[in-house]
Amino acid sequence: MIDMASGTEITLTLGISLVTLAWLSICAIFDARTQKVTNWLTLPAIPMAISAAWLTRESRSETIYSSLFHLVILVVSLLLAWRIHLVGGADLKILVVLALVGTQYFLAAWIGALMYFFTLSVLLHNRPKHFAGVPGFALGIGLLTIRQILVLCPLHLSA
> pLDDT higher for 125 or 7?
125
Domain-embedded: residue 23: yes
If you count them, how many residues does the chain have? Answer: 159
Query: Where would I find the beta strands (DSSP E) of the chain?
Result: none
Residue range 33-49: mean pLDDT, rounded: 91
Domain-embedded: residue 107: yes
Would you call 48 exposed, middle or buried from its count of C-beta atoms within 10 A (0-12, 13-18, 19+)?
Answer: middle
Contact predicate 2/56, CB 8 Å = yes
Q: Measure the CA–CA gap between 124 and 17, rounded to whole angstroms.
A: 31
The answer, yes or no, to whether residue 4 has pLDDT greater than 60, is no
Lowest mean pLDDT among 37-41, 55-59, 95-99: 55-59
The structural domain count of the chain equals: 1
pLDDT, position 120: 81
Domain-embedded: residue 48: yes
Domain-embedded: residue 136: yes
> pLDDT higher for 55 or 134?
134
Domain-embedded: residue 33: yes
> Residue 27: how many CB atoms within 10 A of its CB?
25
Domain-embedded: residue 1: no
Residue range 91-98: mean pLDDT, rounded: 92
| CA angle 82–86–90, rounded 5-degree value | 55
* Domain coverage including residue 154: 7-158
Confidence of residue 1 (pLDDT cuts 50, 70, 90): very low
pLDDT, position 6: 58
pLDDT, position 10: 72
Closest among 143, 79, 128, 74 to 106, alpha carbons compared: 74
pLDDT, position 156: 60
Query: What's the pTM value of the predicted model, to 2 decimals?
Result: 0.82
Coil, strand or helix at 63: coil
